[in-house]
Amino acid sequence: MRILVCVKQIPDPANPSRFDPETHRLVRTEDQILDDTDRYGVEMGLRLAEAHEGTVTLVSMGPVGRAQGIRQALAMGADQAVMIEDETLAGADALTTARVLSAAVERTGFDLVICGPESTDGYSGVVPQMMAELLGVAALTYATRVEVSGDGVTIHRQTSAGYDVVTADLPALVSVTAGVVEPRYPTFRGIMQARQKPTETLEVSDLGVDVSVGQEVISVVPAPERTAGVVAEDEGEGHLLILEKLQEAKVI
Amino acid sequence: MSEIWAFCEETDGAPSTLGLELLAKARSLGEPTVLYAGGGSARAWETLGSHGAVRVLHFDHGDRLAAAPVAAAIAEQANEQTPAMILFGQAYTDRDVAGRLAVRLGLPVLSNAVDVTLEADGTATTRHEISGGAEIAVAAFRAPRPHLAIVRPKSFPAEPVGGPPPEVVPMEIPDVGGAGAMVTERHARERQGPDLEEAAVIVSGGRGLGAAEHYSMVESVAAPLGAATGATRAIVDAGWVPYAKQVGQTGKTVKPDVYIACGISGAMQHLVGMKDAKTIIAINKDPDAPIFTISDLGIVGDVHKVMPKLIEKLRESR
Ligand SMILES: Cc1cc2nc3c(=O)[nH]c(=O)nc-3n(C[C@H](O)[C@H](O)[C@H](O)COP(=O)(O)OP(=O)(O)OC[C@H]3O[C@@H](n4cnc5c(N)ncnc54)[C@H](O)[C@@H]3O)c2cc1C
Ligand SMILES: Nc1ncnc2c1ncn2[C@@H]1O[C@H](COP(=O)(O)O)[C@@H](O)[C@H]1O
């Protein structure tokens, strides 16, 4: 089974990026790490590959010449990686991202594509669904459990009330929710092997995708400020201040 | 007047609150049409009418996963009628349908909006909270109509305005072949206590509680207040409480009168889900915890000292 896991490299959240007031783009720090939410997809992919004699290929679109985050996922055990790097993709919107990723997925060939439900820095939350539509396959989204059997895939899909059991034929795409499996830590051996694993780097021209941007940030304004109120050290009476506040808010 | 379409998923046999919120916004921007996904009923139409819907396009997808077939059906209508804007909510099915619809129409979709505008000259913008809500980014659509936006829950109040039942137009659900999926079982978790999204008071706990069993302190503060109980993703991921209690970016968005945060650091992803509470009270032993920057009352202290005393007083005063 050919399992493709879409993983995103993001600026290290410990090192936050900022908005450039001139270009209205995110100015990213140089550091690129594996998006934490994508570790769950990688883990799910590895488990399915182990159970179904599969391979795990990472697919990632990101800044030119940065592979730190990809190496993290390779060190977990993924077999290979396809990276799409192109200057013209800076500031790409969700639709362009999905077009690029699905073109790379199609080129590689797949039985199952795994995504996260939303990325930590972009969180548009629609790239997986867009990819599925472009690939002409089902998107089984917000999975808390994934099972592959025969030529089908069945998931537990998180809902606001609980969960639904949803099933579709392969090839298909699933998005997995964080916390469903415990992502493994790379072993020393894994880290060493990661350097030797095959990686392929593609540009937009290799994929024949139309890069258009249909949205533009036109301004960034401060939000109506929520002023911090009183902060008081508890010296045994803290609960009384809370009671007072609850009375003030007329809930007791 | 511009045509504005609002997506509404049926939940528990009725229009979702989120759908009614979108309908309220659609009404303020132009002539509203509801895109209703679900079984439908006379009562549902009545509710939609009383919230100002003039017309309902009804997509009864049965046991098929809504995503692909409903997106295909909406695309067909949108191509014919070209509304000015189509609004979705930041929710599971909404996102599934919106993403696929955007591809079908070849148009961008702007996610995570907290407001949308539509000018007389046809330009449209969305507003997005960034930096944990400290700043608002204003984005403009640079593509033809319809403009697609996904809006966070609780961005607009759902208010009945009184109105007759709308015109309901049943829509054909197309066969989408391999893009389709079937829902074979539905499981609803038993609900305990008041609903997070409706409650006037919410007491939430985080990792600072120390252990799963200490979440009972949160419940004991909540009970005498008739409050709902919430949680951070950290303790949901740790398995202390079910996902349904998660407040934040990937959980529920809440807007209660009072939100009491116990042992919660105040990560950006938590704050976006609760910072619009009228009054925020926080207990945290770290004076530099970010939660204090948005709290009306912050108690720098140990939850194990403050909460038991609070519980006792609340019980007494009942
Ligand atoms: C894509 C993405 C989406 C996310 N979505 C969400 C979301 O929807 N909701 C969400 O909540 N998080 C979300 N997160 C996670 C978020 O970033 C934080 O990790 C999480 O909110 C932290 O939870 P916490 O406050 O319980 O834990 P911590 O950050 O560990 O904070 C615990 C706090 O308790 C305090 N404390 C410790 N002991 C005591 C004591 N005895 N008494 C009093 N205080 C004490 C500490 O000072 C600390 O401030 C998301 C993250 C990502 C990457
Ligand atoms: N640039 C990217 N490279 C690889 N995968 C991505 C990229 N952007 C988004 N994804 C995938 O799509 C999911 C949702 O992202 P988003 O729509 O940005 O919230 C992520 O969890 C990834 O699995």
Q: Which residues of B touch A236 (CB under 8 A)?
A: 305
How confident is the model at residue A222, as a pLDDT?
86
Contact B53, B34 (CB under 8 A): yes
Q: Provide the strand spans (E) within B28-106.
A: 31-37, 55-59, 85-89
Our CA-based measurement puts residue B303 at a distance from the nearest CA of chain A, in whole angstroms, of: 10
Got the DSSP string for A79-132? -EEEEE--GGGTT--HHHHHHHHHHHHHHH--SEEEE-SS-TTT----HHHHHH
* CA dihedral of B110, B111, B114, B117, whole degrees rounded to 10: 10
- Flag whether the ipTM exceeds 0.90: no
Q: Which of A17, A25, A115, A133 would best serve as a mutation to test chain B binding (most B beta carbons within 10 A)? A: A133
Closest residue to atom 26 of ligand 1, CA basis: B206
Across B41-62, b (16+ Cβ under 10 Å) vs e yields eeebbebbbbbbbbebbbbbbe
Alpha carbon distance B102, B104 (integer Å): 5
For residue A216, what are its two tokens?
């533009």
Q: Which of 172-211 (A) contact B at CB < 8 A?
A: 172, 177-179
Alpha carbon distance B258, B269 (integer Å): 19
Rounded to 10°, the helix B42-50/B17-29 angle is: 40
A23 Cβ contact partners less than 8 Å away, ≥ 6 residues apart: none
Which stretches of B82-186 are DSSP H helices?
Answer: 92-105
Alpha carbon distance A28, A150 (integer Å): 43
Cβ distance of A215 and B225 shorter than 8 Å: no
Q: Any CB–CB contact under 8 A between A160 and chain B?
A: yes
Q: Which of A100, A158, A246 would best serve as a mutation to test chain B binding (most B beta carbons within 10 A)? A: A246
Which stretches of B89-214 are DSSP H helices?
Answer: 92-105
Give B150-209 pLDDT, tens digit per residue. 999 999 999 899 999 999 999 999 999 999 999 999 998 776 678 898 899 999 999 999
Least distant ligand from the CA of A99: 2
Closest residue to atom 23 of ligand 2, CA basis: A115
Our CA-based measurement puts residue A197 at a distance from the nearest CA of chain B, in whole angstroms, of: 32
Burial of B13 (0-12, 13-18, 19+ CB in 10 A): exposed
**Which residues, judged by CB distance below 6 Å to any ligand atom, belong to the binding site of ligand 1?**
A 36-37, 120; B 206-208, 210, 232-235, 246-251, 263-265, 267, 269-270, 273, 283-286, 289, 302-304
For residue A130, what are its two tokens?
């867009």
- Least Cα distance to B147 among B112, B108, B111, B120 occurs for B108
How confident is the model at residue A215, as a pLDDT?
84
Give B237-249 pLDDT, tens digit per residue. 899 998 889 999 8
Centre of ligand 2 from the C-alpha of residue A22, in Å: 26
User: Smallest Cβ distance to A19: which of B112, B130, B279?
Assistant: B130
How confident is the model at residue B193, as a pLDDT?
74
Q: Which residues of A touch B201 (CB under 8 A)?
A: 251
Centre of ligand 2 from the C-alpha of residue A33, in Å: 14
The torsion angles phi and psi of A32, rounded to 5 degrees, stand at -125, 125
How confident is the model at residue A17, as a pLDDT?
63
Longest dimension (CA), chain A: 67
Q: Provide the strand spans (E) within chain A.
A: 2-6, 9-11, 18-19, 26-27, 32-34, 55-61, 80-84, 112-115, 138-149, 152-158, 162-169, 172-176, 199-202, 215-222, 230-233
How confident is the model at residue A29, as a pLDDT?
65
Give B10-27 pLDDT, tens digit per residue. 998 999 999 999 999 999
Our CA-based measurement puts residue B111 at a distance from the nearest CA of chain A, in whole angstroms, of: 5
Number of C-alpha atoms within 13 angstroms, CB side, residue B246?
24
How confident is the model at residue A12, as a pLDDT?
80
Pairing of the two strands A230-233 and A138-149: unpaired
Interior angle at CA B26, CA B199 and CA B277, nearest 5:
25
- Least Cα distance to B8 among B124, B97, B136 occurs for B97
How confident is the model at residue B3, as a pLDDT?
94
Cα→Cα distances B263→B101, B231, B247, B300, Å: 41, 10, 14, 10
Give B53-86 pLDDT, tens digit per residue. 999 999 999 999 999 999 999 999 999 999 999 9
* Positions in chain A whose pLDDT score sits under 70: 15-19, 26-30
Question: Which SS3 state, helix, strand or coil, does residue B68 take?
Answer: helix
Cβ distance of B179 and A219 shorter than 8 Å: no
pTM exceeds 0.95 for this model: no
User: How many A/B residue pairs have CB atoms within 8 Å?
Assistant: 272
Give B75-129 pLDDT, tens digit per residue. 999 999 999 999 999 999 999 999 999 999 999 999 999 999 998 887 899 999 8
How confident is the model at residue A133, as a pLDDT?
98
In terms of CA atoms, which chain A residue is nearest residue B95? A126
Our CA-based measurement puts residue A113 at a distance from the nearest CA of chain B, in whole angstroms, of: 13
Longest dimension (CA), chain B: 64
